[in-house]
Amino acid sequence: MNEETRLREFCGRLGADPAQSATMAAQLMKRATQLAAERGLTREAAMAHLLKVVVMGRNGEVPPDLPPIAPPRA
């Protein structure tokens, strides 16, 4: 089973429909490659980080290393 298929199944178990799962899997793979290059991580470490963020978000948690969003200006 390849990475994309595994990610699609993972996203489906989190509640995404098949089309959403495919989109999410593609985005996760692309972003893992970008993070690995930007931060000097292995691609596997970058993917592990992203999957942790996805699971935390699904559970309504905010990752501690996520920068705060500035409030909108009036």
Report domain extents, the chain. Answer: 3-58
Average pLDDT, the chain: 92
DSSP 8-state symbol, 62: -
Q: Please tell me the predicted confidence (pLDDT) of residue 39.
A: 93
Question: Which residue positions in the chain have pLDDT lower than 50?
Answer: none
- Alpha carbons 25 and 42: distance in angstroms, whole number: 18
**Which 8-state DSSP code applies to residue 58?**
H
What predicted TM-score, i.e. pTM, was given to this entire model? Answer: 0.83
